[in-house]
Amino acid sequence: MREGPDIARIASLVGDPARANMLTALMGGTALTASELALEAGVSLPTASSHLSKLMEGGLLSLASQGRHRYYGLAGPQVAGMIEAIIGVAEAVGPKRVRPGPRDAAMRVARVCYDHLAGEQAVAMLDRLIDREVLLRDDSEIRLGPAAASHFSALGIDVEAKARRPVCRACLDWSVRRSHLAGTLGAAILDKIIAEKWARREKGSRAVVFSPAGKREFENVFLA
């Protein structure tokens, strides 16, 4: 008999199909209401409500009440990381689809991971930022480099803005198996990409699709 952290409790929360669908939906990073999550999960509102209270009690979700709306979101990056890890295993051991569908391909190129960009583009971006010493990597720790202030202020991103969350964080990418940039800076960059309309979020998916012009802009700024 073992003791220790109750991993069965956490895993069984993710282990119900309805709840797994909800969590997957929330990996998109935007908080959703109970009814939206009910729809995502394909269950009735009462059922969804019951699941949501369990996830809350389990500490996997955060809740923001706004008037009569209640927005549920993932509790934090650590939870998101766990889901990514489970997705990785499910992809690996799951029934290998002969050909990954077009949506899969898009997901591999660029997708939202909680609140920042992930996928090939994101991994390439982080590599390039480190090459140019905009960022410095020290193991899984990422810090601002000498060129950071000038580079990001030109984009209208204030890297000095303080928050409880770290500015930079490395996040393991399940498709590329390398790190991409998370933290407030990662989130700010994703915001920028969407705000500038370089890319748009695929409806009902985590995929992020760049427009031809937007892709050029993005590569110009981050991959040059």
Partner DNA sequence: GGAATGCTTCGACAAGGATCGAACTATGCG
Partner DNA sequence: CGCATAGTTCGATCCTTGTCGAAGCATTCC
Q: Please tell me whether residue 62 binds DNA under the rule CB under 7 A.
A: no
How far apart, in whole angstroms, are the C-alpha atoms of residue 122 and residue 85?
18
Q: Which of 22, 52, 110, 199 binds DNA (CB under 7 A)?
A: 52
* Cβ-based neighbours of 216, under 8 Å, separated by 6 or more: none
Say which entry of a second copy, DNA, none residue 46 contacts (CB below 5 to 8 A, set by partner kind).
DNA
Joined together, the tokens standing for residue 114 give 């909680």
Whose Cβ is closer to a second copy: residue 19's or residue 201's? 19
Q: Please tell me whether residue 17 binds DNA under the rule CB under 7 A.
A: yes
Say which entry of DNA, a second copy, none residue 26 contacts (CB below 5 to 8 A, set by partner kind).
none
* Cβ-based neighbours of 114, under 8 Å, separated by 6 or more: 27, 29, 74, 77, 80, 182
Say which entry of DNA, a second copy, none residue 11 contacts (CB below 5 to 8 A, set by partner kind).
a second copy
Q: Which stretch binds DNA (CB under 7 A): 11-19, 81-89, 184-192, 203-211?
A: 11-19
Q: Which of 20, 24, 70, 75 binds DNA (CB under 7 A)?
A: 70
Q: Which of 132, 101, 143, 129 is nearest to 218 (CA)?
A: 129
Q: Please tell me whether residue 53 binds DNA under the rule CB under 7 A.
A: yes
Q: Which of 2, 4, 5, 67 binds DNA (CB under 7 A)?
A: 67
The 3-state secondary structure of 19-46, one letter per residue: HHHHHHHHCCCCCEEHHHHHHHHCCCHH
How far apart, in whole angstroms, are the C-alpha atoms of residue 132 and residue 138?
15
Q: Please tell me whether residue 43 binds DNA under the rule CB under 7 A.
A: yes
* Cβ-based neighbours of 139, under 8 Å, separated by 6 or more: none
- What are the residues binding DNA (CB under 7 A)? 12, 16-18, 33-36, 43-54, 67-70
